Structure 1
Amino acid sequence: MEPVNQPHLQANTPAEKRALSYSATIKKLFDEVLDTKMPADRIVANYFREHKKHGSKDRRVIRETLFGLFRWWGWLKQFGSQHEQQTWYQMLSVCALLEQHQWRQFAAAWQQFGGFSPEQISLINHTIDANAVANSSNAQPSESFDVSHKNSLMGKLFTTIEFAETQLLPDWFWALCTIDDQQNKLKLIEAMSSRPPIWARAQRINTASAVSTLQAAGIDAQASEYFTDALSLGSKSINLNDVDLYKQGKLEIQDLASQVIGNVCQPKANDQWWDTCSGAGGKTLQLRSLMLQHGASNNNATGSITSSDIRSKALEELNKRAKRANFDSISVARWKTDELPVAKAHFDGVLVDAPCSCTGTWRRNPDMRWIDEPSCIEDKPALQLDILTRSAQAVKQGGKLVYATCSLSPLENEQVVQQFLQHNSDFELITSVHPFTQAKLEHITVWPYEANSDGMYVARMIRK
């Protein structure tokens, strides 16, 4: 794609010059994401690594605007081609409005370059001022400027374009992740159009003490009402290498929805568990932490966890994290062939956190909803069923088999479990309690709007 051509734009103020510079950088990154289909966070990280000149404010404007463009791309792309200079600046300006960004001087420059009419500019500025008043009175953004209000505003700004909330997710998503309840559909769209907080877990430290220590360090930490070791770190970016509790292994970043999985597993202090698709070990560390909590009353947690993955680098990272947390009884067994890397019928619990489409993480990665295609869901069930079937051989009689994904599609979730059970009569589903709704279910889908988290699916089975 050709870069935006800006020959006739005249920057008369320092703010306008910076707005033009930001625009060019954001455009370069935006096009690179769509062209290469590489994740935006990876492209941004590579860019900042190569361009040390950007300060923290520059990085924030560039990064948050880029992700905001993808968050609202379902609406913005209807303006026309982003390669049209005027259209591109309209997109930047509207993105700043919808995201309620604080850099008004740059947004004002983008309005000017975008050729907005005086009526449009008046409406934009009136909306910004009204939201500022509402937010200063402690009203939540979802109350003062939710996605329905934003949809109405878009219709007033661009009277020749039809906007709908469902456009904020691709059409194929609605076909493969069916939601019949219109109210829940709107709740999902609202959640997907906002950023969740940074969720974490406390390890080897009392949660209240962790919250107090983090708040003293200027971090907006709050304990979760759902799990005794979960806490929110707010929505501001955090340099973890500056956080003492993290460096001491007493704090692990893990989304609240992901924490549901370990709590459904319910590992006992003396259990032997196998984490079959461990990646860098977030759930392995959670399982071990829960074992230690379970054995804390009698100082006895003789259980262990074996973690497997096909990627050696991921397992190396797991070992580093386990060492930082001062956790013992964690070993690795890499998948090298289709044969099990562990003994059959050996484990009290086996967790299969299967590779998936990751649609449940689109809040944090809004670019992926426009990069991915239906095949990202349709191609996964066969692999997931194969991994689940092979991993089940390691469960001993009376042991638990837990299947999980960060997908919101039944094709990757309920249907995989049902197919597995049809061919493995020695396993049966058992009921779990949804931690956010308290419903007793065989299949738990965690929706992002339930507790301000990612999306997740988990089901628990037992070998008869």
Structure 2
Amino acid sequence: MRLPPAILANTEEVLREVLRFTAPADTTLSRYFKDHPRLGGRERGAVAEAVYAVLRNKTFFTDFAGSNASMRRLALLGLAEAVGAEAIAGISDEEREFLGRIKDIDRTLLPAQKRSNMPEWLYEKLVKQFGQEEADILADSLNKPAPLDLRVNALKADRDDVIAQLAQAPIAAEPTPYSPLGLRVLKKPALQNLPLFKEGAIEVQDEGSQVLSQILGARRGEMVVDFCAGAGGKTLALGAAMRNTGRLYAFDVSEKRLAKLKPRLARSGLSNVHPVQIAHEKDAKIKRLAGKIDRVLVDAPCSGMGTLRRNPDVKWRQPPEAIAEMHEKQVAILDGAARLLKGGGRLVYATCSLLEEENDAVVQEFLASHADFELVPMHKVLAEQKIDLEMGDYLKLLPHKHQTDGFFAAVLERKKMAKPAKVETPEEE
């Protein structure tokens, strides 16, 4: 079934804006669709998928489109990749011949860096970190669309019951291997109008993100902080793990992000969550809770290089020097969050980055300057939480190995203060 001829023009128009990289691609697309309300669901889907196809294949498309790598040609290539050349109406014989020629190219014969569709600096970092062979497999997996994962809200539903209810929709879903509450949906259906979604029984959340919430080990009645809560996906998972007891603070510097948490919170049925906007990691609101918190999750702001399956524009929007800036920011945030913990309390430092500068290096720098903290080996934490994953000291989830986004996590524990020795007083004669 062919798309309306105007879809090519729509794709070309929004792609021109997206490739300026002045804003995240999903933000630009949302604004464009809001400004063009006459586009139907199928048309919006085709335009969005075409844009993401260009972002995933930008190096290849630009190189092989030749000197005439116009926005129209890029839009054509994106649509052909997303919906197939036969679905594109209103194009010339020459353009069809061009699409056929590109389709026939054996991409496995391209130089590795070209095949990776990554900026040279990023590809070189991955090769240095993972080795050539694994870096190439990883790059290939990052250039494929991510699956749709759901988290079942244990306060409202059972995973098997949700699978059965989704099947009636009909939506096929299967249990995820690591998260006991995760489901992987086999296609990408619209969920917003499903009763399960409206009632808060399910939330969209990558399985890797669900595992981060699990390894914090939040329990009933505890004082817990989600330090960089954002729109609250992990906050909701933590609140449910606490069985809606205790007190869970959702900190974030962005009022807009916290505002997105409110409708999700209302659906979830949680009443133990307290959203708090903070100015920075040394805010007085944080100082008031210093030494009182049982567990802290720090899902730190990062380059997002582990999320390229969902956000392929990220690799083109960030310069290499941004990674060093991120490292400094992450160290400061971790230092601020650590002050919240009581003795024996645990902190999970996490990112959705693949890069060591934002991960291992941040944790090692923190431990070198905080003698009152120690690293809890990840294999020990995973065993405690009964998560069937083989890891060393850190959690390192990778799309080509675990079918999740790329995630890193470390568990840090504040040492309990030794009690002062009892002073014996000599008995009076």
Which of 158, 167, 172 in structure 2 is aligned with 1:215? 167
Query: Secondary structure of the equivalent of 1:308?
Result: strand
Which of 168, 172, 179 in structure 2 is aligned with 1:227? 179
Equivalent residue number for residue 410 of structure 2 = 459
Equivalent residue number for residue 151 of structure 1 = 107
Is it true that 1:346 corresponds to 2:292 in the alignment? yes
Name the aligned partner's letter for residue 123 of structure 2. Answer: W
Equivalent residue number for residue 427 of structure 2 = none
Relative distance call for 1:115 and 1:227 in structure 2 (3 A) is closer
Equivalent residue number for residue 413 of structure 1 = 359
**Within 2, Cα distance between the matches of 1:351 and 1:222?**
28
Query: Secondary structure of the equivalent of 1:457?
Result: strand
Q: Which moved more, 1:76-85 or 1:424-433?
A: 76-85
Which of 155, 170, 179 in structure 1 is aligned with 2:119? 170
Equivalent residue number for residue 256 of structure 2 = 313
**Within 2, Cα distance between the matches of 1:83 and 1:437?**
51
Q: Does structure 1 conserve the Cα–Cα contact (< 8 Å) formed by 2:116 and 2:136?
A: no
Which of 106, 115, 126 in structure 1 is aligned with 2:88? 106
Q: Does structure 2 conserve the Cα–Cα contact (< 8 Å) formed by 1:272 and 1:303?
A: yes
Q: Does structure 2 conserve the Cα–Cα contact (< 8 Å) formed by 1:202 and 1:252?
A: yes
**Within 2, Cα distance between the matches of 1:24 and 1:81?**
21
Q: Does structure 2 conserve the Cα–Cα contact (< 8 Å) formed by 1:436 and 1:451?
A: no
**Within 1, Cα distance between the matches of 2:102 and 2:255?**
55
TM superposition shift of 1:98: 4.8
Relative distance call for 1:437 and 1:77 in structure 2 (3 A) is farther
TM superposition shift of 1:165: 5.4
Is it true that 1:189 corresponds to 2:139 in the alignment? yes
Is it true that 1:52 corresponds to 2:37 in the alignment? yes
Query: Secondary structure of the equivalent of 2:249?
Result: strand
Equivalent residue number for residue 303 of structure 1 = 246
Equivalent residue number for residue 310 of structure 2 = 364
Q: Does structure 1 conserve the Cα–Cα contact (< 8 Å) formed by 2:113 and 2:123?
A: no
Q: How does 1:191-270 map to 2 (within 5 A)?
A: 191-203=141-153, 204=155, 205-238=157-190, 240-270=191-221
**Within 1, Cα distance between the matches of 2:194 and 2:348?**
33
Query: Secondary structure of the equivalent of 1:350?
Result: strand
Which of 265, 288, 297 in structure 2 is aligned with 1:322? 265
TM superposition shift of 1:355: 0.8
Equivalent residue number for residue 140 of structure 1 = none
Query: Secondary structure of the equivalent of 2:277?
Result: coil
**Within 2, Cα distance between the matches of 1:94 and 1:34?**
15
Equivalent residue number for residue 134 of structure 1 = none
Q: Does structure 2 conserve the Cα–Cα contact (< 8 Å) formed by 1:196 and 1:235?
A: no
TM superposition shift of 1:304: 2.1
Q: Per-residue CA shift, 1:178-220, capped at 9, x if unaligned?
A: 3333332232122112111111110121100011111211222
Equivalent residue number for residue 448 of structure 1 = 399
**Within 1, Cα distance between the matches of 2:335 and 2:275?**
21
**Within 1, Cα distance between the matches of 2:340 and 2:257?**
22
Q: Per-residue CA shift, 1:46-72, capped at 9, x if unaligned?
A: 111111221222222211111111111
Equivalent residue number for residue 10 of structure 1 = none
**Within 2, Cα distance between the matches of 1:414 and 1:123?**
41
Across the aligned residues of Structure 1 and Structure 2, the Cα RMSD in angstroms comes to 2.7
Name the aligned partner's letter for residue 93 of structure 2. Answer: Q
Q: Does structure 1 conserve the Cα–Cα contact (< 8 Å) formed by 2:107 and 2:115?
A: no
Q: Does structure 2 conserve the Cα–Cα contact (< 8 Å) formed by 1:92 and 1:110?
A: no
Unaligned runs of 5+ in 1: 1-13, 128-148, 156-160, 293-300
Query: Secondary structure of the equivalent of 2:130?
Result: coil
Name the aligned partner's letter for residue 326 of structure 1. Answer: G
Q: Per-residue CA shift, 1:83-104, capped at 9, x if unaligned?
A: 655x843x455545555x3452
**Within 2, Cα distance between the matches of 1:213 and 1:70?**
36
Query: Secondary structure of the equivalent of 1:116?
Result: helix
Query: Secondary structure of the equivalent of 2:171?
Result: coil
TM superposition shift of 1:411: 0.6
Query: Secondary structure of the equivalent of 2:212?
Result: helix
Q: Does structure 2 conserve the Cα–Cα contact (< 8 Å) formed by 1:111 and 1:121?
A: no
- TM-score using structure 1 length: 0.80
**Within 2, Cα distance between the matches of 1:437 and 1:96?**
40
**Within 2, Cα distance between the matches of 1:266 and 1:197?**
26
**Within 2, Cα distance between the matches of 1:439 and 1:122?**
44
Equivalent residue number for residue 226 of structure 2 = 275
Q: Does structure 2 conserve the Cα–Cα contact (< 8 Å) formed by 1:352 and 1:388?
A: yes
Q: Per-residue CA shift, 1:285-341, capped at 9, x if unaligned?
A: 11111222xxxxxxxx63221111112232233233222111121112321353342
Query: Secondary structure of the equivalent of 2:186?
Result: coil
The count of aligned residue pairs is: 404
TM superposition shift of 1:393: 0.6
Relative distance call for 1:54 and 1:414 in structure 2 (3 A) is same
Relative distance call for 1:398 and 1:61 in structure 2 (3 A) is same
Is it true that 1:438 corresponds to 2:389 in the alignment? yes
Unaligned runs of 5+ in 2: 416-429
Equivalent residue number for residue 137 of structure 1 = none
